[in-house]
Amino acid sequence: MPTVEVADLKDGDFLLDVREDDEWQAGHAAQALHIPISDFVARYGELTEAAPQDARVHVICRSGGRSAQVTMYLVQQGIDAVNVDGGMQVWQAAGRPVVTDEGQPGHVL
């Protein structure tokens, strides 16, 4: 499974958050696209429209399990996708910003 460390992510990397709505609302990376894993197949077109052409998709969830499933699906579809190791827990622990939809400080559920 293709994997990347949070520390290796750069500003501007395309980030797909597959956590559920309540997790997203508590806090997320500001630049992330949110498509919950429970809706992912039905909303797949939103990803293909939003992701820059030929850009890598960095998939993140809380700890890495759900994002690993989505990463494997995307790779099977021929998309350059990688799982973010440790997910939002590591993101937050590394001091990366976690915000709410209103731009206020958030937290990881």
Which amino acids are annotated catalytic? 61
CA angle 65, 34, 25 (to 5 degrees): 90
Return the closest-CA partner of residue 67 out of 45, 92, 34.
34
Contacts of 73 (CB under 8 A, 6+ apart): 40, 41
DSSP track, 50-63: HSPTTPPEEEE-SS
